[in-house]
């Protein structure tokens, strides 16, 4: 890949929403969480979405994460119109391309932390041993290798959220969606979590985060304020050309192919 092609890939639009609306109820009782919403997200952006309660922030995040569907409008993920494909295909896209971080951690209480972190890999083609190895590596990034076989209730809130972030990135998704990830944490734990997200972003990951805390906007490359289901203000603090470069990672298929190549080379050497 030459330098110009690399620049083109870095600055490409990864998410595009056109005229998106989400309606609840019908007739006189109808209300809109989103109304004719347009948004383009470039690869490598760290977007903070702010606004008063009920303005549509979480609804927007759920639609982008394929956990909810819009009433009308179009959603393109890597130029693919995801609102026109089957729920099964949407589930595969979600497992492959999107990682989630929630305010309440959403860890399964009766599973050890390592198995919680390994869950997204069930849908990514890894067998169990490989899943646990990858989960262990992900936890090690957050200095939590010694907590692998703890249950969630045995960890502090900050440790649970770091485990949740490890789970979100274990399958190397292109997009991380975070819904108030520091909402239930003290200030010290919040800084730790945000520093981890900053490190993940520096590797070229696209992050979209909902927050009520204006102090956290210093971590963002773009800040969007929403009001009544629409964008009120949209401010970029970093040029597209200055966004971090994505790190190429091997998918399960690439790993399998590289292993086949290595095996073929070994056979050829053996014949010689």
pLDDT given at position 229 = 93
Residue 224: is its pLDDT beyond 70? yes
Residue 113: is its pLDDT beyond 90? yes
Contact in structure between 7 and 69 (CB atoms under 8 Å): no
Q: Are strands 175-179 and 98-102 parallel, antiparallel or unpaired?
A: parallel
Residue 265: is its pLDDT beyond 90? no
pLDDT in tens, 15-53: 999 999 999 888 777 888 999 999 999 999 999 999 998
Q: Given the structure tokens 């979405």, which residue do they identify?
A: 49
Q: Strands, E, within 171-229: which ranges?
A: 175-179, 206-210, 222-227
Contact in structure between 222 and 234 (CB atoms under 8 Å): yes
**At the top level of CATH, which class does the domain 43-53+87-271 belong to?**
alpha beta
- pTM, two decimals, is 0.84
Residue 89: is its pLDDT beyond 60? yes
pLDDT given at position 218 = 94
Task: Please report the sign of the dihedral spanned by the C-alpha atoms of residue 227, residue 232, residue 238, residue 240.
Answer: positive
- Between 260 and 71, name the one with better pLDDT: 71
Q: Compute the distance between CA of residue 236 and CA of residue 149 in angstroms, rounded to an integer.
A: 42
Q: Compute the distance between CA of residue 53 and CA of residue 42 in angstroms, rounded to an integer.
A: 26
Q: Strands, E, within the chain: which ranges?
A: 13-24, 31-42, 46-50, 72-77, 80-81, 98-102, 175-179, 206-210, 222-227, 230-236
Query: What Rg, from alpha-carbon coordinates, does the chain have?
Result: 20
pLDDT in tens, 170-206: 988 999 999 999 988 888 889 999 999 999 999 999 9
Percent of the chain with pLDDT over 70: 86
pLDDT given at position 258 = 47
Residue 86: is its pLDDT beyond 50? yes
- Between 92 and 263, name the one with better pLDDT: 92
Rounded to the nearest integer, the mean pLDDT of the chain is 86
Percent of the chain with pLDDT over 90: 64
pLDDT given at position 126 = 82
Q: What band does 1 get if pLDDT is binned at 50, 70 and 90?
A: very low
Centre a 10 Å sphere on the Cβ of residue 251 and count the other Cβ atoms it contains.
14
């Amino acid at each position: 890949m030459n330098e110009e092609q690399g620049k083109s890939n870095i600055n490409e639009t990864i998410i595009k929403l056109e005229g998106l609306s989400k309606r609840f109820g019908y007739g006189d009782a109808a209300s809109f969480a989103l109304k004719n919403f347009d948004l383009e997200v470039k690869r490598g952006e760290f977007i903070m979405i702010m606004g008063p309660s009920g303005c549509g922030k979480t609804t927007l995040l759920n639609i982008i994460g394929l956990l909810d569907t819009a009433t009308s409008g179009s959603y393109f993920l890597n130029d693919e119109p995801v609102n026109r494909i089957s729920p099964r295909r949407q589930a595969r896209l979600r497992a492959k391309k999107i990682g989630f971080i929630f305010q309440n951690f959403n860890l399964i209480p009766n599973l050890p932390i390592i198995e919680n972190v390994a869950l997204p890999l069930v849908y990514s083609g890894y067998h169990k041993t490989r899943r646990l190895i990858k989960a262990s590596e992900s936890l090690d990034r957050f200095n939590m290798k010694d907590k692998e076989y703890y249950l969630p209730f045995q960890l502090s809130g900050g440790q649970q959220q770091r485990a949740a972030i490890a789970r979100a990135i274990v399958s190397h998704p292109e997009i991380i969606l975070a819904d108030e990830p520091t909402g239930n944490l003290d200030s010290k734990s919040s800084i730790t979590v945000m520093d981890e997200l900053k490190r993940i972003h520096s590797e070229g990951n696209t992050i979209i985060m909902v927050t009520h805390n204006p102090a956290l906007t210093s971590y963002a490359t773009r800040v969007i304020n929403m009001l009544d289901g629409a964008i009120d203000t949209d401010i970029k603090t970093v040029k597209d050309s200055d966004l971090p470069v994505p790190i190429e990672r091997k998918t399960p298929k690439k790993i399998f192919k590289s292993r086949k190549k290595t095996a073929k080379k070994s056979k050829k050497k053996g014949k010689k």
